[in-house]
Chains A and B, each alone.
Chain A
Amino acid sequence: MTLTFIWTTVGALLTLCVYSFLYKDNPFYKFAEHLVVGVSAGYYLVIYYFNFIDPNVVRPVFQLELGGEAVAFGGTEWWMALIPGLLGLLLYTRFFPKIAWVGRWPLGIYVGGYAGLGISPVMQARVIDQMQAASSPLAGVPDPFAAATNAALGFAIFVVLTYFLLVKRHIVARGIAMSIGAVVLSAVAGYGGYVVLSALSAQGVVSMTNILLVVGLLGTLAYFFFSMRHAGLLGGLARIGIIFLMVGFGASFGYTVMSRISLLIGRVSFLLTDWLHLI
């Protein structure tokens, strides 16, 4: 048994411990859980110390004391390193109730600094850039998704008409003949809409893609209005917004499934191939 095999076996057994949680909570899972909490907490303590405190505080400050050459701290004087060191130590005042309030000073800088970063860059990346991307012509350019968009629209018209003709009017009472008529009617209307829109968008008269993008965006924004009642025009827009949101969420969900399964495949491959060498 090689050292690597022992380590791999440790990993494999821990993997099985975690999977046992799928059945129910049990001592094996508890073991793995507590172990990983301890190990990872220790890991981060060590890594953050060596990546930030050691190079940015300890080495610049103490090498000087030892008569060594001062280590440049971001290209500045060594004593600059005292500032984060001091701020860091202030965090620990919370262990001394009398002066615990001083611990809010570094927190103030920390919270405030990141709050400030949450203003200007956010305005650019999340607001203005998105507005710019959203502002595209509704016509005049051939629509890359003309066929798909219009098929979707034609289908939507068909579904809506059928819904109103059939569901709203109690099929059983009105008889089958009428429902068939209704379906045919809505199919014609849906297909008609599809054909007309396809023709228009293929010639660049309308771009259904861009229209939907703008309508969907305005609808979603309307949904986020807080200070007005969602009624009338705003209510209608917000309703459209919800529809877009739901389609978007469905898409994101379906889109993510694959990655998640990949992870499981990865673990199974670890167990069967790397550990047991079955494959």
Chain B
Amino acid sequence: MAQGKGGRAVTHGAATGHAPAQSFLRRHVFSVDHKVIGRQYLDLALVAVVTGMVLSWIMRFHLGWPETPVPGLGKLAPTGAAGGVITPEFYLALMTMHGTIMVFFVLTTAPFAGFGNFFLPIHVGAEDMAFPRINMTSFWVTLAAFLVLVSAFFVGDGPPLSGWTAYAPLSAVGKDAGPGQGVGQTLWAVSIAMFCVAQLLGSLNFIATTLDLRTRGMSLARLPFATWAWFITSVIGLVAFAVLMPACILLILDRVAGTSFFIPAGLVISDRLQPHAGGSPLLWQHLFWFFGHPEVYIAILPGFGIVSQILPVFARKPLLGPRVFIVCLIAIAFLSYTVWGHHMFLSGMNPVSATLFSVPTLVITIPATIICLLWIGTLYGARLRFTTAALFALGFVSVFVSGGISGFFLAQPSTDIYLHGTYFVVAHFHFVMGVAAMFGIFAGTYFWFPKMFGRMMNETLGKWHFWLTFIGVYCVFMPMHYLGLAGNVRRYSAFTDDYLQPLIPLHRFITIAALFTGAVQLIFLFNLIRSRLRGPVAPANPWEATTLEWSTSSPPPHDNFGGHPPVVTHGPNEFGGVGPQDYVMQAEPR
């Protein structure tokens, strides 16, 4: 209690509500408890991922059989798919919404905001986030952003069709540019701007919590790997979303206020001269990709952390080179801001800068390769236990390697000349940020579910889920590399070009594999719901793990540690001892 100079008592800030709230609404809906908020984020991500996946099914079906009506779709979308036949603009709208929902509301929301919210405070030994109310605000803004985005399905011409990258001027000139480019595109921009605000607030919380609320003995070196990853992701997000938000504001102004930030003079769209002048389409691309490339790491770094945390647990030995791992994460975070131009090799920017952007892009593979080797090296001499979480973590390594390696082709301007804009790119980013991040989310779910809900998930169902998904995703995305090599352009709603005709059978194979892999996810959904209601009661530490969340009950009490903040005496990585207990928990007394 500090004594003010003027004699007035100055106390600590009012307690931030660590007593459990009483009303149902306060406890489960408008809760400031980070665990409730984390679950809310994950529930939102679940809704989003189901939505995004259904959209991709319709897209894939259309690509395989473009003229076959989709049963029932004519009723759901009478404008976009009259009689169930999908129009090109409806396909692009599905694609735009699929990309936007998946990148923002699944790959950012689940592994980062969802798991991070639930476990980061527990990992550092805190009762809650640094700013619980801001935390709650962050979730509700995210939810509102999602609703705004989805509402584009129900307005005028439907959702926008300019892709998740929303390149200007297509995204900026309004409805002359096509259906959905009116109100739908505006809603998109508003939604993303709101999402940026939410993520900035969230990142602020993550960073402040990690820096200031660590319990006694929890030095930075003893932070669990997942928390390191969330912390670094927050730093990336803090910069990336801070750039995307003003970019979206400028885009909205171009659309509704008649400014010309991104729209140059002399555009004639559908025979109409546009009343704009002087803007720069490349400016949008620079601003977007300055966010967009780091966003890839926002999606994948939490996966790195989750896998690095899970692998040692099931390998029963410490992660190889924990410090190297952290240094590599930091290196990736730093480099992620120097590479955005590799999305723009062919965009008309100065060709000299292509080489300048190519080099850091290739260099970033060094820390990524080191991390993969650390994981594989961790397996050396391990005593692997094959839980579903372990399988997904191992699967993560496999798909990340597959996705990462195709990056070599796209990072070089010379080979990008041919492969840019083809399915090779689709294959690359789906493996490296889509599938890999999803595997991270699955691994995290199977690993942490007992802690979050106090019940175990069904391992048999889990293993079926893993095997079918693992094989499925390779069948879906590996052939896309072949399509790309054959010059198959992406974002096409149908393949009418002569040279694409021979590729249609391969598209059908991918479609069947995608529908199959999608259907397999029903096993996961079923497991999730059944285990939440009827799974066996989970002990505090079912996996014999070391980090702080396993020191408290499953699920943790309201203040996480029952009024007894833990004192940390060990690192998170102490596995492999001999004796009945081969590990040392972080809070184990010396």
Question: Do A and B originate from a single complex?
Answer: no
